[in-house]
Every structure is written in structure tokens, then in C-alpha cells.
Amino acid sequence: MPRLTVRAEPRQFLGVLWLLLPLAVTAALLWFGLVHTPEPRRSLFGMHGPAVILLKTQLGSALLGLVLIQLLLALWMYGRLPGLRAAPHPVGTVHRLIGVFTFLFSIPIAQQCIIAYGVSLTGPRQALHSLAGCFLYGAFVAKVVVVRHRRWPGWALPLAGGTLVTVIVLAWYSAAFWYLNGFHAPGL
């Protein structure tokens, strides 16, 4: 009688590993933020106290602007902006360069947040901001994985990119908007 065996293809196994990488990044940041002792007096570019919050609000708002530019460039590249012709080849290069700059630009903001405050789940606003901040880097890894491995289904890239934009908007809304709106964010 023939023996039935389950044979996993190496590519399928690697695909599962690539799927786990964004989850591992998110989990690692969440774990660090929960076990790390917050250092609320930590400075950012020499700023302390309320000046740090204002600076992070300004940097976070600039980051949001860069992400919205990224979204528009991606929509243009994939022919999803009505009334515009196909994007010329340099648009893809500009999209990648702005993406790298945006990622690097986000690091000091995130580092200051996680070192100074850790992950806080004490209230809805703090929980949303903390979880969005941790998930942001997992979403970034997922987007890079999808872009680099072209065998993913066609819906994977818009899903990864849309998730990344969404978590950045949520992080901005629960911190920068909250600050700019007089320490109030509707729904939080």
C-alpha cells in the first residue's frame, strides 16, 4: 500500500517564515515596551519636557505628510489616480527614496516614545498609540517582504501598503492630533 506523506515545498516553508517576520518584529517591540522601565525625562534632540511633545508632534505631522505623498505616488504608479496618465519610471525611484527617508525619519520619534514611555495600555488613546507604534514596524517589514518577493498574490502589496499607511495615521491621530486638538481626540 502506498504511503501518504505531506511534503512541504521549500518555497512554501520560506513563505511562512517571511509571514512570521513582521509578527516577530511587532511582538519584539511590544515585549520591549512592556518590560522596559520608562524614562520620561529622556530628551529628543536636546529637548525636554513639553518641548519634546511639541517636537514629536511636529515630526509626526511631517511623517504623516511624507506617508500621504507615498500613498499618492503608489496610487499614481499603479494607475489608480483618475485623470492622470501612467506614471513615468522615475516616480518609482522617487517613491522608494521617499520611503527610505520616511522610515529613517520615523526612528528617532519611535525610539523616544518607546524609551520614554514604553507601551502603555492604561487608556484607549495610550493603548491605540502604543499598539499602532509597535505594529507600524511590523507593517513596514511586511511591505518590504511583499515588495522583495514577487510571488505574492496581487492584493498583498496594496494590503501591506494600506496597512502601513493606516497604522501611521492611527499613531498620528492618537498622539499628534490629540496634542494639537487640545489633548482631545474624538473617540478616544
For residue 30, the model assigns a pLDDT of 96
* Residue 3: pLDDT band with limits 50, 70, 90: low
Confidence at 46, pLDDT banded by 50, 70, 90: confident
Task: Give the three-state DSSP class for 47.
Answer: strand
* Residue 74: predicted pLDDT: 94
**What share of the chain in percent tops pLDDT 90?**
70
Q: Is 147 exposed, middle or buried (0-12, 13-18, 19+ CB in 10 A)?
A: middle
Q: What is the pLDDT of residue 12?
A: 62
* Interacting residues of 54 by C-beta distance below 8 A, sequence separation 6+: 47, 179
Using alpha carbons only, give the angle 176, 116, 111 rounded to the nearest 5 degrees: 75
Provide the residue type at 175 as one letter: A
How wide is the angle at C-alpha 90 spanned by C-alphas 149 and 86, nearest 5°?
85
The residue to which cell 521617499 is assigned: 98
pLDDT in tens, 149-187: 877 888 989 999 999 999 999 999 999 999 999 999 999
Average pLDDT over residues 15-31: 88
pLDDT, position 152: 80
Give backbone dihedrals phi and psi of 120, rounded to 5 degrees, phi first.
Answer: -115, 125
Q: How far apart are CA 50 and CA 130, in angstroms?
A: 19
- Confidence band, pLDDT 50/70/90 cuts, at residue 33: very high
Query: Residue 123: which of 174, 86, 181 has the closest Cα?
Result: 174
Q: What angle do CA 34, 40, 45 make, to 5 degrees?
A: 115
Kindly report whether the global pTM for this prediction surpasses the value 0.75: yes
Domain boundaries of the chain, sorted by first residue: 21-34+47-180
Residue 169: predicted pLDDT: 97
Please tell me the predicted confidence (pLDDT) of residue 11: 61
Integer Cα distance of 13 and 55 in angstroms? 44
C-alpha 180/C-alpha 183 separation (Å) is 7
Cβ(167)–Cβ(143) under 8 Å?
no
pLDDT at 1 over 60: no
Q: What are the pLDDT digits (tens) for 9-22?
A: 666 666 667 778 99
Q: Is residue 6 scored above 60 in pLDDT? A: no
pLDDT tens digits, residue range 117-153? 999 999 999 999 999 999 999 999 999 988 888 778 8
